[in-house]
Amino acid sequence: MRRARILSRKPGPRTRLSQDWMPSEKTTLILRCLLQNCMAEASGIPLPDSVSECVDQYQDMETSLH
């Protein structure tokens, strides 16, 4: 009991990080693209280049944002 109280009272850098960390829009988009492709592959649609396609989309977007 005492140990749990000490741990909860002491805010470590790990706690702060997890609260502040938000994935960027680009990260979210590439992950969503990969997830959609994984789901399509699971449905039996062959997508051999799905990962590189997502990375290409991500890079195109990055260059258009800068």
CA 26, CA 65: separation in Å to the nearest integer? Answer: 10
Residues 6+ apart with CB under 8 A from 55: 30
Domains of the chain, by residue range, sit at 23-66
pLDDT for residue 43: 72
Residue 3: what residue type?
R
Helices assigned H by DSSP within 10-49 = 13-20, 25-42
pTM of the model: 0.34
8-64 confidence digits (pLDDT tens):
555 555 555 555 566 777 788 878 887 877 777 677 766 556 667 777 777 776 677
Within 13 A of 28's CA, how many CA atoms are on the CB side? 5
pLDDT of 46? 61
